[in-house]
Amino acid sequence: MKDIRNIGIIGLGRMGRCMVHGLMASGGIKKEQILFTTKHAESAAKVESELQIKKASSNAALVEQCQAIVLAVKPQNIAEVLSEIKDSAGAGKTFLSIVASVTTSQIESLLPKNTAVLRAMPNTPAFVGEGISALCLGKKASEKDFQRAETILRTLGKVVQVDERLMDAVTGLSGCGPAYIYVVLESLTDAGIKVGLPRDLAKQLSAQTVLGAAKMLLETGRHPAALKDEVTTPAGCTIDGLLELEEGKIRVTFIKAVVQATKRAKALAKQAKIG
């Protein structure tokens, strides 16, 4: 992060914390170079003592001192943040928003015309460096801004560049996706209990199975159906398990979950009360 003296994070909640964790673990930046703000003094004091990073005196002061600024507040708080920082924003600074649903043009409309804005949708496995972020560029974002944003997001895991029109769908799939998989993991663990396994063993077997299956898919590049077929021997156990899943409409349930979450992501932009 050669050309970034300080990184500022506006909003140090769950995702902001993931970012601080990732940035510090990457070794590319020292904690003295990270500034943050929160809405409430009590939450800021907690962050300062837990993470030993420095609180800026205001959102505007943070922007003045930083070259890269991450916007990590909820959609309903973004308008107030942008109105506080608009006089400190402008050329030379990179604004990376991870605010769900709010578009780069909505953000650009409240900042000076030449401000570089990018938007990303990370996910919570970022906390252990195994997240995936989809990243898109606003109108004034240059290659240098893209590189700055990508460098920050890489500390959280993988990064893919997407067209902005796909961001709500990305939110419904990988942004919300960890929650779907935790439900799967909880269910598999309970299933292990039901068939007589100790809880810790059931949890370990379930989690490593999900991790290993995902790795197989990514590393072999094969179709998930082909990988499933390999586990499914004629008149074996797996086909009986699969039959239960099909009767429970697992496929359509997952598809509907992503469709509904995507619709909600689209609707959330209205809560931001911009434009």
Please give the residues from 174 up to 193 whose contact with ligand NAP meets the rule CB under 6 A: 175
For the beta carbon of residue 10, count every other beta carbon within 10 angstroms. Answer: 29
**Binding map of ligand NAP across residues 1-40, x = CB under 6 A, - = no contact:** ---------xxxxxxx--------------------xxxx
Please give the residues from 221 up to 260 whose contact with ligand NAP meets the rule CB under 6 A: none
| Stretch of 107-115, 119-127, 146-154, 248-256 lying at the interface with ligand NAP (CB under 6 A) | 119-127
54 binds ligand NAP (CB under 6 A): no
CB of residue 12 vs ligand NAP: minimum separation in angstroms?
A: 5
* Interface residue with ligand NAP, options 20, 70, 94, 122 (CB under 6 A): 122
For the beta carbon of residue 249, count every other beta carbon within 10 angstroms. Answer: 11
Buried b / exposed e over 220-241, threshold 16 CB at 10 Å, is eeeeeeeeeeeeeeeeeeeeee
Please give the residues from 67 up to 86 whose contact with ligand NAP meets the rule CB under 6 A: 72-75, 77, 80-81
Please state, in angstroms and rounded to a whole number, the distance separating the CA atoms of residues 94 and 172.
Answer: 26
CB of residue 58 vs ligand NAP: minimum separation in angstroms?
A: 9
Contacts of 259 (CB under 8 A, 6+ apart): 172
φ, ψ for residue 65, nearest 5 deg? -90, -5
Sort strands 34-37 and 7-10 into parallel, antiparallel or unpaired: parallel
Chain contacts with ligand NAP (rule: CB under 6 A): 10-16, 37-40, 43, 59, 72-75, 77, 80-81, 98-100, 121-124, 175
